[in-house]
Chain A
Amino acid sequence: MATLRDYRVHRRAIARSRLVIWTVILLAFGWATWGTGFGVLTFVQGIGGSFAFIATDLLPPRLEAAPQFIDDAIDTLLMSYVGMVMSVVLSLPLGVLGARNTTVHRLLSYASKGTVSFIRAAPDLIFAIFLVALFGIGPLAGTVAMGISGIGILGKAYADGIEAIDMQQVEGIRAAGGTWFQVLGQGVWPQFKPTFITWSLYRLDLNIREAAVLGLVGAGGLGYALITEIRTFQYRTATTVILMIFVMILLVEFVTGILRRRVL
């Protein structure tokens, strides 16, 4: 029988492990703060400077410049869309083969997940730098960069989504004598579809954001327009571009939201 003494020992053990965890967290934070030179004082001082910069240089936006960026905006949209489709097409087989419950062989699952993790480890920017060197400045490099880097996200999301489905439903199909392909189509897909749609559309969303960053290395679209304006100190025009990116994200979120409700 457990006694009060046992209870105290048990409580003390918990307290000790908590102490260890908090010590580690605080030490890590201290080290990270020191390492990055993060100081509350410099941070607060910086805020003042930032606000001054925003108020005097970025505002008000030069809205009349908007029409000249419409083409770039459309470019960004198309790049993001093509990039998403490319990621989806490449990620689907990787997801199916990566998921433990649908893979053909355990080793293939490791290989598949490894590939996806490897791609995820490299930031889009790296892909974009290589691809700009390969294809030259322009939307193509950005599109392919987003397409490849999307595999890192979607490949994992798909595999996880497939692993989360109810295998009893799949067993029903298998017991009826379905082939591997039929089991995928009739047992796995109907359950996986909502996850598939949600994550694929989320990637489209992310692509538009990322397109802005990829502009830094000349990968076309609004991002390239943005960096050009900043380099020539046209901050108010740059603000316009930022606003356009923002509006586009809202627009895509709105449309994909409707789409999702329709399909699911």
Chain B
Amino acid sequence: MALDPMLVVRGLSKQYPDGTKALTGIDLEVPRGQLVAVIGLSGAGKSTLLRCINRLVEPTSGQVVVNGRDVTRASRRELRLIRREIGMVFQHFNLVDRLPVVRNALHGRLGYVGSLRGALGMFPHADVERALDVLDQLGLGQQAFKRCADLSGGQKQRVGIARALMQEAKLILADEPIASLDPWSAETIMKTLRDVAVREGITTVVNLHQVEFAKEFADRVVGLREGVIYCDLPAESLDDATIQELYRGRVPEPVSQEY
């Protein structure tokens, strides 16, 4: 069974109530342990694709299978069980600002603890120890008891990754994880995602704006244009012509060196 792909998307379409066709007939298979970058213009459907995978957005038609389980047909309870194996990392971090860092990491355990205990934020000691350990590994050992609101963007995103790791995620979905970060933090976050993918064998799908980062860190690049897959190739074979066409000339021209 280990040869099963981690993620299978078949004929996935999404039309929003206002009539916008965000995705049309997406087919995608991601083998275990692969790091896929999804690139494309804003509005190409990258975010919708990612959110359809864990059904934060309800697909209009098509099928999504994660780790052999049909997400699209799952009941609410089944969906929660599937979601706890899918870590999500957001552009705006989506951490609870008023809670301490360690608690935000522990939120990754919510799917594994009782509903009431989870609601009250009571987690087993073993989980707390692991959370502190994970935070330490991500360089956040000193910040564990600060409120998330007091962290920098790069630090917040590492808390987001810690939360996904606490979920023991088999699949990580990262929706523009570096779009709100400075270049240096962006580099760190991409490295962290890469390390995690390699070390823990976590399959990762990451939406990116920056083509350079996609080429540097991903195994494979999927280009979305107007809701359909325009290109799907190994990162090293992504050439400038394809990129130009994907962004249809909207990639800014290289800045002139003459001055």
Please report A residues at the B interface, Cβ cutoff 8 Å: 166, 168-169, 171-179, 181-182, 184-187, 190-191, 193
Contact = CB atoms under 8 A, between A and B. Distances in A.
A172 B107 contact: yes
A171 B94 contact: yes
A184 B119 contact: yes
Interface in B120-157: 120-121
Contacts of B120: 185
A152 B80 CA distance: 35
B119 A182 contact: yes
B83 A186 contact: no
Contact of B96 (A175, A177, A179, A187): A187
Nearest to A167: B94
A177 B120 CA distance: 16
A186 B98 contact: no
B121 A176 contact: no
Interface in B32-88: 54, 56, 80-88
Interface stretch (B108-116, B212-220, B237-245, B246-254): B108-116
Given A177-B110, A186-B107, A191 B96 contact: yes
B25 interface: no
Interface in B91-108: 92-99, 103, 107-108
Contact of A171 (B56, B86, B98, B118): B56
A169 B118 contact: no
B51 to A, nearest CB: 9
Given A168-B94, A186-B107, A191-B96, A175 B88 contact: yes
Contacts of B95: 169, 172
Contact of A186 (B85, B94, B119): B119
Given A171-B90, A172-B90, A177-B111, A182 B118 contact: yes
Interface residues of B, number: 34
Nearest to A174: B56
Contact of A168 (B92, B110, B116): B92
Contact of A179 (B80, B88, B99): B80
Q: B83, B85, B99, B118: which has the most chain A beta carbons within 10 Å? A: B118
Contacts of B83: 174-177
Most chain B beta-carbon contacts within 10 A, residue among A173, A178, A190:
A178
A182 B115 contact: yes
A168 B107 CA distance: 14
A185 B160 CA distance: 19
B163 interface: yes
Nearest to A188: B96
B96 A169 contact: yes
Contacts of B103: 186
A189 to B, nearest CB: 8
Contact of A178 (B93, B97, B111): B111
A184 B118 CA distance: 10
Contacts of B84: 176-177
Contacts of B94: 168-169, 171-172, 175
Contact of B167 (A171, A176, A185): A176
A186 B111 CA distance: 13
A181 B80 CA distance: 13
B98 A179 contact: no
Nearest to A182: B118
Contacts of B81: 177
7 contacts: A175-B83, A175-B86, A176-B87, A176-B107, A182-B119, A185-B119, A186-B96
Nearest to B87: A176
Given A175-B56, A179-B115, A169 B107 contact: no
A191 B86 contact: no
A120 B188 CA distance: 54
Nearest to B118: A182
A179 to B, nearest CB: 4
B153 to A, nearest CB: 14
Given A186-B107, A187-B96, 16 more contacts: A166-B97, A168-B90, A168-B92, A169-B96, A172-B93, A172-B96, A174-B83, A175-B83, A177-B80, A182-B115, A182-B119, A186-B99, A186-B103, A186-B110, A190-B98, A191-B97
